[in-house]
Amino acid sequence: MSNTAPLLQVKNLRVEFPTRRGTLVALDDVSFDIAPGEVLGVVGESGAGKSMTGAAIIGLLEPPGRIARGEILFAGKRIDNLRYEQMRRLRGKEIGAIFQDPLTTLNPLYTVGHQLVETITTHLPLNPAEARKRAIEWLEHVGIPAAAQRIDSYPHEFSGGMRQRVVIALALCAEPKLIVADEPTTALDVSIQAQVIALLKTLAREKGTAMMLVTHDMGVIAETADRVAVMYAGRIAEIGPVREVVKHANHPYSAGLMASIPPLDRRVERLAQIDGAMPRLSAIPQGCAYNPRCPQVFGKCRELRPDLLDAVTTRAACWLYDTETARG
């Protein structure tokens, strides 16, 4: 994949929240690419900045949050500085989004058909009748039985899993090239999480859709992602091919995360607990943000913050991979 021009490029992204007690830096120096059709898994403890990264990409950071530095490029063009209306045209059409909780993502007062048709007619040159036909096809794609009848049902008439299928149909119906899926199964019943992920994966493969898949489920990452980014305290701690990061993590934090993943036959497990807690944004320690919890911490870690360094199989933000440190 390394030779394909990237579909999405995030470069040195910094997101700030001005508050009365100073500026909070929610994301700092976040850089990664996603190639066309590629699935990038994003993992990390709650509060690491995964959702914030997704929100910055789709241009829906909640004010007063703003991109303070860096660039986001989609298909080679900058999208982080577009005006609202220009960015709106990209949302849904080029970059789709799936949120965590299907129970709250659909407007309860409109039928799923209404919501599908309005999305389709917003982005595609179809009349309402054609859009409705397309909507039924999409409901069939995502595995809603009796789609032609169910299209006129309201969200509350579907179960959680079925609603997330509807959400997936809504996110994909204008055939975007990139999907930002933020914990798409976390709110679902464990028994149906695998089906929904399988559906998402199949559709993305079929349509060649690239995906940024945020999840806590290492089993899902192992099965679905091509590459993984591990986030910690608003930065990327490690990024690399899925096999390497899951099996042979280089960064001590990723290693801790992966340490207690059960064997693959017992999938759908939560992240292991690492001693201590991720620092709050207002109290990120000097040097490496992970240093208070890191078993391999040494002098330099408490003074300087490491950038992503080449760790042979992956790239890791850790002084252990600094050639000069190693030498000296």
Partner 1 sequence: MFAFIINRILQAIPVMLAVALISFAMFAYVGDPVAIMLGQDFTEAQRDALVHDLGLDQPFWVQFATFTGHAIRGEFGLSYRLSRPVAELIGERAPATLELAFCAAVLALAVGVPMGVYTGLYRNSWLSRFFLTFSLVGVSLPTFLIGILLILVFAVWLGWLPSFGRGDTVQLGWWSTGFLTWSGIKALILPSITLGLFQLTLIMRLVRAEMLEVLRTDYIKFARARGLPNRAVHFGHALKNTLVPVITIVGLQLGAIIAFAIVTETVFQWPGMGLLFIQSVGVADIPVMSAYLLLIALVFVSINLIVDLLYYAVDPRLRIGRGKGGH
Ligand X SMILES: Nc1ncnc2c1ncn2[C@@H]1O[C@H](COP(=O)(O)OP(=O)(O)O)[C@@H](O)[C@H]1O
Using CB under 5 A as the criterion, which residues of the chain lie in contact with Mg ion when the complex forms? 51
Stretch that binds partner 1, among 75-83, 98-106, 206-214, 245-253 (CB under 8 A): 98-106
Which residue do the tokens 């299907």 mark? 102
Q: Is 92 in the site for partner 1 (CB under 8 A)?
A: yes
Nearest to ligand SF4 of 101, 307 (CB atom) = 307
Nearest to ligand SF4 of 187, 297 (CB atom) = 297
Q: Is 232 in the site for ligand X (CB under 6 A)?
A: no
Q: Is 48 in the site for ligand X (CB under 6 A)?
A: yes
Min dist CB 192 to ligand X, Å, is 22
Q: Is 86 in the site for partner 1 (CB under 8 A)?
A: no
Q: Tell me how far CA of residue 299 lies from CA of 241, 287, 288, 302, 303, in angstroms.
A: 30, 10, 11, 6, 7
Tell me which DSSP letter residue 63 carries: T
Neighbours of 123 (CB within 10 A): 18
CA 3 to chain CA centroid, nearest Å: 23
Q: Is 47 in the site for ligand X (CB under 6 A)?
A: yes
d(CA 189, CA 43): 20
Candidates 144, 212, 294, 311; binder of ligand SF4 (CB under 6 A) is 294
Query: Collapsing DSSP states into helix, strand and coil, what is residue 20?
Result: coil
Altogether, the residues listed in the chain come to a count of: 328
Locate 249 and state its tokens: 């993590």
186 binds, among partner 1, ligand SF4, Mg ion, none (CB under 5 to 8 A by kind): none
Tell me which DSSP letter residue 251 carries: S
Q: Is 81 in the site for ligand X (CB under 6 A)?
A: no
Locate 195 and state its tokens: 């089906």
Nearest to ligand SF4 of 169, 317 (CB atom) = 317
d(CA 127, CA 114): 13
Q: Residue 246 corresponds to which amino acid? A: V
Which residue do the tokens 């940024």 mark? 212
24 binds, among ligand SF4, ligand X, Mg ion, none (CB under 5 to 8 A by kind): ligand X
Min dist CB 280 to ligand SF4, Å, is 18
Q: Mark 301-320 with x for binding to ligand SF4 (rule: CB under 6 A) and - for no binding.
A: x----x-----------xxx
d(CA 119, CA 298): 53
Query: How many Å is the Cα radius of gyration of the chain?
Result: 20
Binding residues for partner 1, per CB under 8 A? 58, 60, 84, 88-93, 96-97, 99, 101, 104-111, 118-119, 122-123, 149, 152-154, 156-159, 162, 167, 170-171, 174
